[in-house]
């Protein structure tokens, strides 16, 4: 049996790859999957309405990730934070997911930002917004991830403004946090973050923030899609501060590491790759770096496809694959973002994911893909 795709015919797999959940935490690396949210497809909302979330399906997907030993990075970019999910929705998501994590023994970290601000704000207002979200995340028991702030990027005038705001937040934090540097390819409003469009100068400021309170920084998450820069930054971190790669183009080599160290992971691509990624890290846990790369390297073309420019729309492909894999019953996204990628793009994602054995039920994935193609006028 073949399926007709916009770019040609394809013969789907008949058997999935075997990635059985074990629930055992990974040992050699700390790995977070930045998880998506499942929209309520029956809510009568418009793209600019507050998000309508299917909470049962959203939490079930997190249990799926935890069952494979992965941590969950909650209310991050992958959850459409600032692209359909506002702070009210994110706060509810964090509370629900943190409670679920406690119930099942899952590891969870959660994004702390300033997205409750809806207009221009000065530095004091930005700091207060951060403090409100930090208090909520700490109250749930989740580990805070201090996310890059659009409001801070707009309000800051010098690198010292960033140092002042972040230093204050680190003093406020009860436990070590993860600092998150998200590049403008993920969010154009973050251009010039840390006070400069020169990435070398921005890196120096970022390191200055860490140097002020290294005991309050568990690690950094870098999402610049620049492996060389991440390795350089990783080697300059104080002892005890971890690097969590957010590079969805070069993650196998960065996680594997070199003679000078390695990166842990906090990745959006580990939403659709969760079981396979966990399998790869378990191979690495045995000391078999070559075996780890053999499992994970073949996934990079799919990741590069999903994260191709405009990179910020990668969430569409992530949710699309979750639908094909049977983790949700529909291909609907908060904010109507299911329309952000073309049918040729989605068809290629299907073919690549199927080739990797990512679908637990290949026949279901094929049936759903055919139904979508028919809507777009591709007759089967």
Give the pLDDT score at 303.
98
Residues of the chain with pLDDT under 50: none
d(CA 180, CA 198) in angstroms, rounded, equals 18
d(CA 298, CA 301) in angstroms, rounded, equals 7
DSSP class of residue 50 equals: P
Give the pLDDT score at 16.
86
User: At what angle are helices 159-172 and 123-140 packed, to 10 degrees?
Assistant: 30
62 and 106 Cβ atoms separated by less than 8 Å: yes
Give the pLDDT score at 302.
98
Give the pLDDT score at 276.
96
Residue 280 CB contacts under 8 Å (≥ 6 apart), including other chains: 252, 292, 295, 296
Q: How far is CA 253 from CA 73, 270, 307, 379, in A?
A: 21, 15, 18, 41
* pLDDT tens digit sequence for 258-302: 999 999 999 999 999 999 999 999 999 999 999 999 999 999 999
Report the predicted TM-score, pTM, of the whole model to 2 decimal places.
Answer: 0.96
Give the pLDDT score at 21.
87
- Joined together, the tokens standing for residue 218 give 């568990």
322 and 332 Cβ atoms separated by less than 8 Å: no
Burial 223-254 (b: 16+ CB within 10 A, else e): bbbbbebbbebbeebeeebbbbbbbbbbbbbb
Q: How far is CA 133 from CA 94, 128, 151, 319, in A?
A: 10, 9, 14, 26
Q: Name beta bridge partners: 242.
A: 219
Question: What would the DSSP string read from start to end of 103-125?
Answer: HHT--EEEEE--TT--S---HHH
Give the pLDDT score at 47.
86
Say which residue the tokens 């590069």 belong to: 304
Cis peptide before 310 (omega within 30 of 0): yes
Give kind and range of the element (H or E) at residue 353.
Answer: helix 343-355
Give the pLDDT score at 19.
84
Q: How many CB atoms lie under 10 A from the CB of residue 324?
A: 27
Closest to 29 measured CA to CA, from 230, 209, 254, 236: 254
Q: How many CB atoms lie under 10 A from the CB of residue 171?
A: 10
Q: How far is CA 32 from CA 178, 202, 205, 267, 268, in A?
A: 12, 25, 26, 7, 9
């Amino acid at each position: 049996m073949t399926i007709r795709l916009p770019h040609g015919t394809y013969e789907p797999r008949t058997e999935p790859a075997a990635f059985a959940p074990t629930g055992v935490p990974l040992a050699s690396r700390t790995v977070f999957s930045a998880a998506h949210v499942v929209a309520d497809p029956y809510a009568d909302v418009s793209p600019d309405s507050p998000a309508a979330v299917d909470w049962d399906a959203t939490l079930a997907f997190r249990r799926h990730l935890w069952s494979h030993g992965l941590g969950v990075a909650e209310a991050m970019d992958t959850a459409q934070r600032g692209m359909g999910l506002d702070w009210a929705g994110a706060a509810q998501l964090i509370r629900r997911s943190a409670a679920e994590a406690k119930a099942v023994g899952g590891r969870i970290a959660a994004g702390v930002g300033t997205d409750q601000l809806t207009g221009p704000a000065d530095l004091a207002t930005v700091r207060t917004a951060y403090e409100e979200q930090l208090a909520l995340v700490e109250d749930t028991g989740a580990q805070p991830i201090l996310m890059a702030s659009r409001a801070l990027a707009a309000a800051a005038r010098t690198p010292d403004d960033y140092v002042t705001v972040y230093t204050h937040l680190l003093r406020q934090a009860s436990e070590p946090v993860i600092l998150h540097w998200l590049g403008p390819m993920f969010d154009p409003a973050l251009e010039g973050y840390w006070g400069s469009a020169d990435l070398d100068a921005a890196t120096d400021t970022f390191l200055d923030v860490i140097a002020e309170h290294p005991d309050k920084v568990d690690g950094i998450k870098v999402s610049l899609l620049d492996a060389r820069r991440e390795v350089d930054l990783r080697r300059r971190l104080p002892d005890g501060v971890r690097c969590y790669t957010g590079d969805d183009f070069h993650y196998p080599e960065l996680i594997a590491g070199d003679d000078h160290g390695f990166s842990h992971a906090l990745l959006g691509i580990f939403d659709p790759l969760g079981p396979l990624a966990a399998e790869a890290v378990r191979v690495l846990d045995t000391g078999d770096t070559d075996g780890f790369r053999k499992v994970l390297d073949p996934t990079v073309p799919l990741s590069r496809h999903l994260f191709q420019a405009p990179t910020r729309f990668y969430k569409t492909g992530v949710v699309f694959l979750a639908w094909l894999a049977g983790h949700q019953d529909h291909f609907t996204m908060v904010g109507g973002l299911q329309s952000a990628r073309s049918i040729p793009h989605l068809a290629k994602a299907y073919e690549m994911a199927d080739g990797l054995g990512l679908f637990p039920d290949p026949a279901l994935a094929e049936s759903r893909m055919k139904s979508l193609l028919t809507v777009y006028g591709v007759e089967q």
